[in-house]
Structure formats: structure tokens, C-alpha cells
Chains A and B, each alone.
Chain A
Amino acid sequence: MSHRLLLWRRLKNQVFFTLLVFMSLIALFPLFNILWYVISRGLPELSIRFFTRLPGPVGMVGGMANAIVGTLIVVSLACLIAIPIGVGAGIYMAEYADDRFAAVCRFLADVLSGVPSIVAGLMVYATVVIWMHSYSAFAGALSLALLMLPTLMRTTEQMLLMVDTSLREGAFALGATRFQTTVQVVLPTAASGLITAVMLSIGRVMGETAPLLFTAFGNSFWQDGLNAPIAALPLQIFVYATSPYPQWQAQAWTGALTLLAIILVINIAARAFGRGKLR
């Protein structure tokens, strides 16, 4: 092989490599831009009172305490609804269903995951909100749960299918029933993966705004139980950001920063579980 050919090859390699690095930088740019922007715009209004006070009238110092608590309540409620159903369905698909039924479940889950979040909200509005004659924390949670379900089903199924069949057979060979095998061998083996999947699905719905608009609705005060409208960070951010008042606009950024921080913490925790570090 001639020397020049070798040089040419090395050059091609270099160009390709440089191109890839360049593409990665372009991909990362918006991400860091968003982070930097949210941090720099959100920091000025960051203070203790932001986390302890209710929103105040224009010109008065206020916070987003109710929205932060509201988001945590709505998301927790959504988890209470979605996790048992989603994980349960995933277990059923992986451990019990015959191939054809599991394929049907998988298809439906995929269709459901393609439903736009605003449609999920509209669904809950048209049924639960109209029926209960009220926006509510419960309705908001239901719309988020609808969005969590398909990912929970699919990721649970995948995590369980990753557990080696030889472990199930080992349990069967000891006289374990299918139920015992699932609960005592398969689930503990997949535990860290399952926790990661659950946390990632929580992180995904935490910032959802559209479905909450006409379900949880928002509230400038502390919520009055789960059957009443409730504040949520994304809603509060939406209202403040589109208001004409500079102070509210600044607080919207602080709200965004808080939301990002919560999601970041959840993601980091998910990753730590994924590596089995927090066993």
C-alpha cells in the first residue's frame, strides 16, 4: 500500500471524526443554552420566600409555595394511580400473557404513548371534570397518569424480559409457583431497573403543562382538598410568563429553575438506582 493512500485514509478518518465532534457540540448547544438561560434568568428572584409564600398581587413580594406543593401532590397522586396499573400490566405482559395477547398489549401501549398530552387532558376534562363539575387535583393526576401508563408498561415489561429465563427455571425447579417466582426472584432481580424506569416516567410528566390546563386548572391559593382546583408549577410558570408584569416574568424563570432542579434530582436518583448503588 502506497504511502499517499495511507495519508489519504488518515485524512478521511480525521475529517469524519471532526465532523462527529462538531455534530455532538451542535446537539449539546441548545441543552446548555437552556440550562444557562434558565439559571441566569431564574436566580435573581430565587429566595426563601419564593418557596414559602403564596403568589402575591402585582407589586407585592410573593412566591410559588402552593404551586410547588401542588405539583408534588398531583404527581404523587398520578404515581399512586399509574404505577400499580402500569407495573402490574408490565408484569402481566412479561410473565403471564401468551405471545399474542402480549403483542396486543404492546401495540395498545405504543398507541397510547403516541397520544398527545393535550388530548389526554381533553379526555379527562370531557369525562371526569364535567362529571364532577369541577377542576381538581384528582383530574390533573388522572391526566398525568394516562401519560405515564404506556411507558411504565413497556419499560416494566422490558426490564423483566431482561431477567434470564434460567433464574425463573431455577425457582420453578425448587417448587415455586409462577407467582412466587415473579415476586421472590424476578422482581428483586429487576428491582434497580424498575426503579429507574419509574423515576424516569415521573420526570417526564412532572413538567407537563397542557393536560393540566383544563384538569388541575391552577389556583392562586392553597388547594382546598383533592376535589378542587390545584396549583402546579408548569401552570404557574405559564400564567406568570405570559403576564405583562416584569416581576412575574422574572418569577416564572425562578419557577422554571425549580422545576428543572426537581427533575434533575429525580434523574440523578434514577441513574444511581440504575447502577444499583442505592441498594
Chain B
Amino acid sequence: MGKTVVAEHLSAFFGEHQILHDVSLEMQANQVTAIIGPSGCGKSTFIRCMNRLHETVARATMTGRVLLDDENVYEANSVWVRRTIGMVFQKPNPFPAMSIFDNVAAGLRLNGIRKKSVLAEQVERSLHMSALWDEVKDRLSAPSASLSGGQQQRLCIARALAIEPAVLLMDEPASALDPISTLRIEELIEEIKCQYTIVIVTHNLQQAARVADTTAFFLSGEIIEYGRTTDMFTTPSDKRTEDYVTGRFG
């Protein structure tokens, strides 16, 4: 089941440069939250604070709290946090030295699961979920680089799902993909959202409108508006949101 993620008074920095300014946002369990906003406004930085990936960058710091169903992420073990909060990146990043199977099994192996039958079962299940199974079932031992871009991204989704996280962060998962692959990923989100908390960054507004229950609009490291997706797109309360969703800037 999904877990609710709550960001409280989050500020994030790269060195002296402040990227996020006191951002607070609640991402409901078993719902899809979309984060929209112009490029460079801190969307990636924000979701990378959720799974503590931000702190792995040299000179990157943050203040504030992130709660995962009342548990403070920044007081918990970072390995546990990242197992519980999975992530799919903007650019597909399958491990090139590993086969298709090993890529999906990587997270399980990293977490100490060695039993062949368990691995095989979980890999198949995850590939089914990411709608890749039929395309790769006959060549699971082929190198991951032999897949197309869209397939690689679905492989990365399967890899993230294989360790059964409670939350799935997706950073513009379809921005580098063709329309058919994009559609597949949106269908996938629709199918799995009842079991996960999904946070999707997108600069494709139609995509946010299609998949998200709630939407947050970021601008220059601040949340300008947050609410039900339909409201955000039809009756935004802030002028800047309206300008953005109607395409007047961004």
C-alpha cells in the first residue's frame, strides 16, 4: 500500500544558491500528485529531497522535514528510505553492464535476496506491471542497451517496482519518449496508482491533466498553487497559475 508523503518547510540549496524556498506539500497515499512548472523551477530538486538523493550531490544541503506516514525520512536510515520511495529518472538509466533480467533483479539483489525462484517471479511480475514482459520475455539475458529508449524507460520502471516501494517518484518519465511509449506509461500509472503513492514531475500539462488527482504548480522554488487537478486547470486562483496553464508563459 502507498504511504502519504508530507514535505514540511523544505528549503534546498546547492552551495550558497537557494533552490527551494520553504516548500510544504502533502502527497496523498494511493493518489497521483503531479508537479508542474517551468524548467529550472526546482521540481527535480524537490522530489530528490523526498528520497534523500539530493544529499548525495556534493555541496547540496536542505532544511525542513519529510514525513513518510509520520516517520521522519531524515531521521531514518537512508537505505530504508530509498527502498520505500522508488524513483524513475528523466533519462532512462538502465545499468549497461547488466542484462535485462539483472537490471530488474538489481534492487532485490542489492537488498540481499538471492533465491533464484523469488528473483524470477518478481522480475516477471514487475515486467508485466511495466508492460514490457511480452517484448522481452524471450531475451531476458540480452544486454539492456539492446532495448529502445521507451523500452529502457519501462525497464527502469520495472526495476523500481521490483523492490515493492510504497511511493514512486517519477521525474519527467516520458519526456524523452515517443507518444506510444508515453501512452503506455500513463496507462501503467493508472493501473498501479491504487497500490502506490505516485508523484510525477511533468512539463506536459495534458499529461498532468490526464493522470493526476492533485497538481502542484512550482515557480522559482516556491509552490504557487496546489489543489485538485481539474480545479487547477479550469479555475486556477492565482494569476500566475492561470498564465502557465493557459500557455501564456513557461
A residues at B contact (CB < 8 Å): 98-99, 164, 166-177, 180, 184-185, 188-189, 191
Contact = CB atoms under 8 A, between A and B. Distances in A.
A103 to B, nearest CB: 13
A99 B58 CA distance: 9
Given A174-B163, A175-B163, A166 B79 contact: no
Q: For A168, A170, A185, which residue has the most chain B Cβ atoms within 10 angstroms?
A: A170
Interface residues of B, number: 27
Interface centre among B51, B83, B97 (most CB of A within 10 A): B97
25 contacts: A164-B93, A166-B89, A166-B93, A169-B56, A169-B93, A170-B89, A170-B156, A171-B106, A172-B56, A173-B51, A173-B86, A173-B87, A173-B160, A174-B82, A174-B110, A174-B159, A174-B160, A175-B107, A175-B110, A176-B110, A184-B109, A185-B97, A185-B106, A188-B95, A189-B95
Interface in B38-60: 51, 53, 56, 58
A166 B153 CA distance: 13
A99 B15 CA distance: 14
**Residue from A171, A173, A188 whose CB has the most chain B CB atoms within 10 Å:** A173
A191 B110 CA distance: 19
B107 A174 contact: yes
Contacts of B87: 173
Contacts, number: 68
Nearest to A166: B93
Given A99-B58, A166-B89, A172 B82 contact: yes
A164 B93 CA distance: 9
B110 A184 contact: yes
Given A185-B97, A188-B98, A173 B53 contact: yes
Contacts of B91: 166
Given A169-B53, A169-B93, A184-B106, A175 B83 contact: yes
Given A98-B58, A175-B110, A180-B110, A170 B83 contact: no
A151 B106 CA distance: 33
Contacts of A167: 93, 95-96
What 10 A-B pairs come out closest when comparing CB atoms? A188-B97, A174-B107, A175-B83, A173-B87, A166-B93, A170-B93, A175-B82, A176-B110, A175-B79, A189-B97
Nearest to B110: A176
A142 B53 CA distance: 42
